[in-house]
Chains A and B, each alone.
Chain A
Amino acid sequence: MEHTHIISVLVLNNPGVLQRIAGLFTRRWYNISSITVGATDSPNIARMTIVVKGDDKVLEQVVKQLNKLVEVIKVSDLDDKKCVERELCLIKVYAPTESSKSQVIQYANIFRGKIVDLSSESLTVEITGDVDKINAFIDLVKPLGIKEMARTGLTALMRGPKILKSKKS
């Protein structure tokens, strides 16, 4: 059965590593929903969070194929119940009137978002949370008119003291 899986990958921060991983997914037709890359506490190691759709067999292959890459240090399939997951989204909402502006601000407050920019006809809201929360906010402001939007994709860490160690499984 198809599931969405969050895969956390520690990689060596070498030139071309992103291409290597992206290429693997393209070639083998693995279905990526999102991919994020960023620094870790160690300067030569980066963390990628990949959200991938597929059944258990596909997921097993994704993990094994990732592990085969020389620049991949550790791969872990994060159980979504036991991890903290966040995405950040910036939304520029059409709000030409005072009333529409205050409505957006009200919505943002409820969702613990922040107003990060303001102009005569628009408001930019920063909102952070899991995917469902962001989707809910987007649905809410859609009738007002979304001028532009940027989502970062999901990033995640395991709950508790456990960490991804630099040793291959």
Chain B
Amino acid sequence: MKGAEAMIKALEAEKVNILFGYPGGALLPFYDALYDSDFIHILTRHEQAAAHAADGYARASGEVGVCIGTSGPGATNLVTGVATAYADSSPIVALTGQVPTKLIGNDAFQEIDALGLFMPIVKHNFQIRKTEEIPETFRAAFEIAKTGRPGPVHIDLPKDIQEMELDLDKHPIPSKINLVGYKPTTIGHPRQIKKAVNLILMAKRPVIIAGGGVNIANATVELMKFAELTNIPVCTTLMGKGSFPEEHPLALGMVGMHGTKAANYCVSESDVLIAIGCRFSDRITGDIKSFAPHAKIIHIDIDPAEIGKNVKVEVPIVGDAKIVLKDILIHFLKKDILPNKKWIEYVASLKKSSIPKMDYDDTPIKPQRIVKELMDVINDLNLNKNSIITTDVGQNQMWMAHYFKSCAPRSFLSSGGLGTMGFGFPAAIGAKIAKPDSKVICVSGDGGFMMNCQELGTIADYQIPVVICLFDNRTLGMVYQWQNLYYGKRQCSVNFGDTPDFVKLAESFGIKALRISKPGEIKEALREAIVSDEPYLLDFIIDPAEALSMVPPGGKLTNIIEPVREHPNEKVICFDEIKRRFLAKKEETTSKNIKLNEQAEPETADTSN
């Protein structure tokens, strides 16, 4: 059989039946083989969206998502999506076409060094140089992508390799593979676990930080048992959202720069911090020196390189969050644990005193109100365990992360590490395909949505019922907020003006859409869109002046400052200086041209006479 057919067989052996991709010259043999297969191929409108969709698929399901793009620009377009998956440890396999082996190195049409290009943003990558390498390479790629700390793996597929013959009987697809240099540790060291248990037993003010690793390891049940048994409050990182139900009395919400007051204070005052599957990024810790100053840290992570990288750790445990938590639990089942009443009461009072106001009646709408209505609708429809939220990046993301209570693992998908604008919408497409029975709601700003709005074509074409909730303020709100706070309100290149009309844009794809500008209309619109089971766009016109409270970058977690809530409210075409300059210049040129024309006219009149 041809190499391309062997590749399809290898994908089938990995139980893949769906691809997100975009064909091209160097992939013609592959797509020809696809014709005869049972694969579903979602033709996105841009390779970046294919990568995000595969990523969304992987995050929602825990299975490897597969995306494919052609050589050259196809590969470069995949890069942002693959890097996003890498930053958030999401298992995807990215396939790229490549020019025929004879042409490699000749700067052929659509040739690019894909191996070199992807190298720094993947867990590992391969270039297949002989057809015989196909079976093992595909097996290895999937093994590497989904085990240990998951991550993207890239395979570069030269066109002639796809066309050349391969005898699969001679080179069968292996069911197991031994990679000499790859042996992830999953079981925590018993001595370390014992140390951790002792430290937890002695703790007076313990706090758990649950990171993305808890979601990835599907360790929610174990985490809940552990927290409930020991009465330890739990805060999550952005990636850990949903790994512990946020309605739970022990839940503190998200910690960090845009974290809740309860989470930030509890972490800062804790004496033992149990960090599970998180990497203490700068968005979590703020100033490293003043981060959890009284705490001894137990750090559980499957990636040994994350332990001790950013913070000093008392008890490091390398292993899978689920397995390690199970092992820790065994120790506690045998013991009577006396919760520290004072601490529990303090935590509860902190939570009670910091319940945020969300039921604003203002027009333009406050985003908090939309988040509240969204939670209510999800509750009313009993979709708590049956809905997936994807967010984009920026204010919309942080409003959702801060105010929205996630109650199921893998139900809050967001680009955390890389912070990729344009992620939310295509990721929602992948999530919906992975979980067809879940309602998938993409919350996005208008800026991020514009970065991949071409995918309206994809959801229209394949009838993928994703609900898009636009937080539309025609502003790059997060940048704007920082300019207001730290750059003396010198707003520069953050304003989008009035186009497009998002409702008309969606409608031009045959997608239902509504514009919502009054708080009273939110609930009905959300309900209508979510129940419809059709692709739907809701364009919420929100207050551009609204901003987030935050911990200044590199600051203490307890130093939460209020933002500058100010925005030119009068209807000005632009409020930023660069745009004003450009438009002024244009006006000048136009008026000059008019003058020139005026001067020219009498002359022509003369000659005609």
Chain A interface residues toward B at CB < 8 A: 11-12, 15-16, 19-20, 23, 27, 57, 60-61, 64-65, 67-73, 166-168
Residue of B with least CB distance to A44: B180
Which residue of A19, A60, A71 is within 8 Å of B181 (Cβ)?
A71
Check A69/B116 contact, CB under 8 A, given A15-B127, A61-B305, A64-B304.
Answer: no
Contact A168 B115, CB 8 Å, known A15-B127, A64-B305, A67-B305: no
Interface string of B299-333 (1 = CB under 8 A from A): 00001110011000000000000000000000000
| B181 adjacent to A72 (CB under 8 Å) | yes
In the complex, are the beta carbons of B181 and A65 less than 8 A apart? no
Q: Does B179 make an interface contact (CB < 8 A)?
A: yes
* Chain B hits for A60, CB < 8 A: 308
Q: How far is B309's CA from A60's CA once the two chains are assembled, in angstroms? A: 9
Interface residue? B123 (CB, 8 A): yes
The minimal Cβ–Cβ distance linking B567 to chain A, given in whole angstroms, is 39
**A23 with B305: CB separation less than 8 A:** no
- Bound-state CA distance A166–B179 (Å) is 11
**Pair A69/B181 contact, Cβ less than 8 Å:** yes
Q: How far is the CB of A168 from chain B (nearest CB, A)?
A: 5
From B124, B129, B303, B308, A70 is in contact (CB under 8 Å) with B124
How far is B303's CA from A92's CA once the two chains are assembled, in angstroms?
Answer: 49
Q: Apart from A12-B181, A64-B304, A70-B179, what 12 extra A-B contacts exist at CB < 8 Å?
A: A15-B115, A15-B129, A20-B119, A23-B119, A57-B308, A61-B305, A61-B309, A67-B304, A68-B305, A69-B124, A73-B180, A168-B181
Nearest to A69 among chain B residues (CB) is B181
Shortest CB-to-CB span from A167 to chain B, Å, is: 8
B120 lies within 8 A of chain A by Cβ: yes
User: Can you show 11 pairs from A to B with CB atoms below 8 A apart?
Assistant: A12-B180, A16-B119, A23-B120, A57-B308, A70-B124, A70-B144, A71-B124, A71-B181, A72-B181, A73-B181, A168-B183
Chain A hits for B119, CB < 8 A: 16, 19-20, 23
- Least CB distance from B120 to A in Å reads 6
Do A16 and B182 touch (CB < 8 A)? no
**Least Cβ–Cβ distance between A24 and chain B, in angstroms:** 8
Chain A residues with CB under 8 Å of B182's CB are 70, 168
Q: How far, in whole Å, are A23 and B113 apart by their CA atoms in the complex?
A: 15
Contact B181 A70 (CB under 8 A): yes
Bound-complex Cα distance A19 to B129 (A): 18
Contacts of B181 in A (CB 8 A): 11-12, 69-73, 168
Give the complex CA separation of A105 and B180 in angstroms.
49
- Minimum CB–CB distance from B142 to chain A (whole Å) comes to 13
Interface string of B116-160 (1 = CB under 8 A from A): 100110011001010000000000000010000000000000000
Pairs A-B, 6 closest by C-beta atoms: A64-B305, A70-B124, A73-B181, A70-B182, A72-B181, A168-B183
Cβ distance A42 to chain B, nearest Cβ, rounded Å: 11
Asked if B120 contacts A27 (CB within 8 A), the reply is yes
Chain B residues within 8 Å of A168, by CB: 181-183
In the assembled complex, which residues on chain B have CB atoms less than 8 Å from the CB atom of A20? 119
Cβ contact of A68, chosen from B180, B303, B308, cutoff 8 A? B303
Most buried by A among B120, B181, B304: B181
Nearest chain A residue, comparing its CB with the CB of B303: A68
Contacting residues, chain A, for B304 (C-beta < 8 A): 64, 67
Taking CB atoms, residues of chain B closer than 8 Å to A12 are 180-181
- Report the minimum CB–CB distance from B452 to chain A (whole Å): 27
Q: In the complex, A67 Cα to B307 Cα: how many Å?
A: 14
Q: Chain A: which residue is nearest B305 at the CB level?
A: A64
CB distance from B374 to the nearest CB of A (A): 39
Q: Complex formed: what's the CA distance from A60 to B305 in Å? A: 9
Chain B residues closer than 8 Å to A69, beta-carbon distance = 124, 181
Tell me, in angstroms, the Cα distance from A19 to B116 when the chains sit together: 8
Contacts of B115 in A (CB 8 A): 15-16
- CB closest chain-A residue, reference B143: A70
Q: Are B116 and A70 in contact (CB under 8 A)?
A: no
Closest CB-CB distance, A20 to chain B, in whole Å? 6
Docked pose: A167 CA to B303 CA in angstroms: 17
B contact residues around A166 at 8 Å (CB): 180
With a cutoff of 8 Å between Cβ atoms, the chain A residues found around residue B183 in the complex are 167-168
Q: How far is the CA of A57 from the CA of B312 in the complex (A)?
A: 10
**CA gap between A11 and B180 in the complex, in Å:** 10
- Across the interface, name the chain A residue whose C-beta is closest to B125: A16
Proximity bits, B161-191, A CB within 8 Å = 1, else 0: 0000000000000000001111100000000
Residue of A nearest to B306 (CB): A64
CB-based contact B116/A16 at 8 Å? yes
- The docked-state distance in angstroms from the alpha carbon of A167 to that of B181 is 7
Looking across the interface, which residue of chain B has its beta carbon closest to that of A167?
B183
Residues of chain B with a CB closer than 8 A to A68's CB: 303, 305
- Beta-carbon contacts under 8 Å, B388-446 to A: none
Cβ of B305: which chain A residues have Cβ within 8 Å of it?
A: 61, 64-65, 67-68
Of the listed residues B144, B180, B305, the one surrounded by the most CB atoms of chain A closer than 10 A to its CB is B180
Within 8 A of A (CB), among B270-305: 303-305
Cα-based distance from A17 to B124 in the complex (angstroms): 11
- Write out the residue numbers on chain A whose beta carbons fall within 8 Å of the beta carbon of B116: 16, 19
**Cα distance A19–B180 in the bound complex, in angstroms:** 20
Complex CA distance for A67 and B144, rounded to whole angstroms? 14
**B residues 65-124 with Cβ under 8 Å of A?**
115-116, 119-120, 123-124
**Smallest Cβ-Cβ distance to A166: which chain B residue:** B180
Of chain B, the residue at the smallest CB distance from A60 is B308
